[in-house]
A = this chain, B = another copy of it.
Amino acid sequence: MKPLKRMTKQRKIILDVLQSTTCHPTADWIYEQARKELPDISLGTIYRNLQHLVQEEEIQELNYGSTFRRFDGNTGLHYHFVCRSCGQVMDVDMPVLRDLNGEAAQVVGGLVEDHRLEFYGICRSCLDKNQGIEEKKECLT
């Protein structure tokens, strides 16, 4: 973990929020959480810090088929499952496919640094209450 340039209380809270949840929150959800601690924090500060933390590789950014981003406090390589019904994003605890990068490098002929793998489908809890479209949950705690 590299040292950050400055650890403000705002930055600390944002990092805390991300590291103390297993969900994959949006900027807005992080904002709501952070405001419980620091009511005057601004959304601009949330975005500036998220950008900063991504650059410092303290967190990672996720992007699925939606208009907004999600963030993940877990920077280790791991895979995700996205439920098409409720929109929930969960970690998939399966072994990392280490030789994939080399395989791809042979094909594309460039430098392959890493990869990202996402699964799509319907999660168990949506299957159970097997109905049409659930209301989307932004984040489950």
**Chain A residues within CB distance 8 Å of chain B:** 61, 63-66, 69, 79, 81, 83-84, 90, 92-94, 97, 100-101, 103-105, 107-124, 126-127
Contact (Cβ within 8 A) A92 B119: no
* Residue in B90, B110, B121, B123 whose beta carbon sits within 8 Å of that of A81 in the complex: B110
A interface secondary structure, majority:
mixed
Given contacts A117-B116, A117-B117, contact A81 B65 (CB under 8 A): no
Number of copies: 2
* Residue in B65, B83, B94, B113 whose beta carbon sits within 8 Å of that of A110 in the complex: B83
Contact (Cβ within 8 A) A123 B94: no
* Residue in B92, B101, B110 whose beta carbon sits within 8 Å of that of A104 in the complex: B92
A92 to B83, CA, bound (A): 26
Contact (Cβ within 8 A) B126 A110: yes
Contact (Cβ within 8 A) B111 A127: yes
Contact (Cβ within 8 A) B116 A112: no
Contact (Cβ within 8 A) A119 B94: no
A83 to B112, CA, bound (A): 9
Residues of B within 8 A of A109 (CB): 124
Task: Give, as a whole number of angstroms, the nearest-CB distance from A100 to chain B.
Answer: 8
Residues of B within 8 A of A92 (CB): 104, 107-108
